[in-house]
Amino acid sequence: MGLGKTIQAIAFLLSELPEATKPSIIVAPTSLIYNWQAEITKFAPELSYRMIAGTAEDRKNQLKNIAAGEIVITSYDTLKRDIDNYHDLEFEFCIADEAQYIKNHYTQNAQSIKSLNSRVRFALTGTPMENSLADLWSIMDFVMPGYLLKWQKFKSIYEIPITRYDDRERLKHLQRQVAPFLLRRLKKDVLTELPDKIESTMYAQLNKEEEKIYHAQLAQSQKTFLEEIAANGVERSQIKILALLTRLRQACCSPKRFLDNYNQPSSKLTLCLTIINEKIQSGSQILIFSQFTTMLDLIADELKKQQIDYLILTGATKSSARMHMVSQFNDGRIPVFLISFLIFLLPLNQMLLLLFLLLKAYHPFQVFLMSFYLDETLLYH
């Protein structure tokens, strides 16, 4: 991510504009469609584009009278809802941004974009496609349908021999097949000025009151867990088990997240704020991720008290507002950006950042719960 795929694609579309006889289309995650709009406006104002957004009727009308060379920008979610409106449209180029969104070939995301009529297709992704041969096949099936055969045949010839039997010859053959069609950009080749990544793990010791609350919650969870399994079995207790795990994780972050009358400072929050102040004094900007939005709210409350400017982005934040927030952060005006783990695709272009992950500590009982739960889930699936 951040190695110039968007700019490279825009430059290509601009270079093809004089010869264009049809419009082109860009399909991206909802969180990135306004980034495409901003980047086109900034780097290629000569390109005409239209955003497909609004009500169903609005979106249908927006697809009328599209000029040659014009760029249609839409999201995967919108495309699958509007796919019937695209059957009579023909595009010169179709670009799938963050192509990992179509890695599962049976999903509506994949089936919708693969049904578009286009002369040339591009897939942009910051996720290594070799993570899964099934992912590779689905993305290549979009770019060059049929080149890697049908899925079942690809699975029998490549996927099973390579993943199950470590067939190196089949792997080399597959690599030779796909290599001419992959343009890979690595950080070390593109951004040589970036320093090496440094990972530091810092542990927050629970204070006595937090320990007391945690162990009380743990004892209750153990009792509830055993009673639930005895009464209903694992398969019908999955939601209850996840709820128990979530409550223990909440206790690790801050008891205030589930105890209304708890007003003592959280050890993890105190450590987080100490690091934030240290880094701000050194001129750093900070990204803080947490799976729990309520934990982000607690951090935000403390930042307000200390008069530290911040931005907070969760799933409730509108897509159009996200781009404004990203621009504020990229401009260096705001030192702290609080982000939910669920919002992971953002065009953050800063090079000197402190990435702060608020993770949950696990007690051995929690690990036991998870292994017990996952093993049984796999068994029943």
In the predicted structure, residue 147 carries a pLDDT above the cut 50: yes
Lowest mean pLDDT across 168-182, 289-303, 353-367: 353-367
Res 361: pLDDT? 47
What's the pLDDT tens digit per position in 277-293? 888 888 888 888 888 88
Whole-angstrom distance, CA of residue 255 vs CA of residue 209: 9
In the predicted structure, residue 33 carries a pLDDT above the cut 50: yes
Which of the pair, 255 or 365, is modelled with greater confidence?
Answer: 255
Res 193: pLDDT? 67
Q: What would the mean pLDDT of 76-103 be, rounded to a whole number?
A: 95
In the predicted structure, residue 31 carries a pLDDT above the cut 70: yes
The mean of the pLDDT values for the chain is 84
Res 130: pLDDT? 56
Res 151: pLDDT? 95
What's the pLDDT tens digit per position in 90-124? 999 999 999 999 999 999 999 999 999 999 999 99
Whole-angstrom distance, CA of residue 341 vs CA of residue 343: 5
Domains of the chain (ranges; CATH) run: 5-190 (3.40.50.10810), 208-358 (3.40.50.300)
What's the pLDDT tens digit per position in 172-191? 999 999 989 888 777 677 66
Res 84: pLDDT? 96
Q: What is the pTM of this model?
A: 0.69
In the predicted structure, residue 350 carries a pLDDT above the cut 50: no
Res 291: pLDDT? 80
